[in-house]
Amino acid sequence: MGNWGKWNSNSASMRPPIKTISIIIVIVLCIWLFKRYYPYFKYVRLGLDRDDLKKLSSPDIEGSWRQMHPDFMEKLTKVKRLVNLPSFTINSGLRSHRHNKKVGGVANSSHLFGRAADIHTPNPWYQRRVARAAVKAGFTRMGIGKNFIHIDDDPTKPQPAVWGYGGKKPPFNPFNLVT
Ligand SMILES: [Zn+2]
C-alpha cells in the first residue's frame, strides 16, 4: 500500500493495484458467504436439519427456504423442539406461484409469502401434539387436514383461526388443548 508513488511513476506497470483489489474481493466474498450461510447455521443451531430446510423450499427453486419469513422460522423451530419426536416431518413450506398452482393452493396462500408450513401428522395423537406445540409456539392460525396441520402466522389474515379441509370441520380446536 505504501508504493503508490512508485506505481504511478512506473509507466510499465499501468496495472491496477492487485493487493487492493484482492482485499476487496476477499471482503465481498466473506460478506456473500456470511449472508448465504448464516441463516443456515442459525436454523440448524435452533434445531432444524438439512431435510427440514429442503422441505421448506419450493421444489422448483433450490434453497428457497431462505425466503421464509424469519419470524415464522423462529416459531417453527419452537414447534419442532416442543414436539420433540424424531419423526417430525415438514410436508411443505415456501411455494412459488407456479408450484402453488400445481398443488392447488389458494390464490393468496400464506405459503407464497414464506409464512406457512404443513406438518405431517400420521395419527390423531400426533396431530394434537403438533397442534399443542404450535399454540405454545405462538401460532394463531391453523388448518387441520386428514394427516397434516397447516400452521401460518400471516399478519394480513384473521386470527385466531382454525379450519378443516375438503369441506370438513376441524376435528378439534387447538386453542382448547392448551390452558
Ligand atoms: Zn398449508
Quick: pLDDT tens for 129-170.
Answer: 999 999 999 999 999 999 999 999 999 999 999 999 989 999
* pLDDT value of residue 7: 56
Cα(59) to centroid of ligand 1, in Å? 15
Residue 134 in contact with residue 149, Cβ under 8 Å? yes
Distance (Å, whole) CA 153 – CA 85: 23
Distance from Cα 174 to the centre of ligand 1, integer Å: 16
CATH number among 3.30.1380.10, 1.10.10.10, 1.10.3720.10, 3.40.50.12780, domain 49-177 = 3.30.1380.10
Ligand 1 centre from 90 Cα, in Å?
Answer: 10
Distance 179 CA to ligand 1 centre (A): 25
3-state secondary structure of 142: strand
Q: 142: CA distance to ligand 1 center in Å?
A: 9
The interaxial angle of helices 124-137 and 70-83, nearest 10 deg, is 130
48 vs 65: CA distance, rounded Å: 12
In the chain, residues under CATH classification 3.30.1380.10 are 49-177
Q: Is 24 exposed, middle or buried (0-12, 13-18, 19+ CB in 10 A)?
A: exposed
pLDDT for 12: 55
Enter the pTM of the model: 0.83
Q: How far is the CA of 30 from the centre of ligand 1 (A)?
A: 36
The per-residue pLDDT for 162 is: 96
DSSP code of 178?
-
Which backbone phi and psi does 117 adopt, to 5 degrees? -150, 150
Give the chain's residues under pLDDT 70: 1-14, 179
The three-state secondary structure class of 83 is helix
Give yes or no for a contact between 145 and 165, defined as CB atoms under 8 angstroms apart.
yes
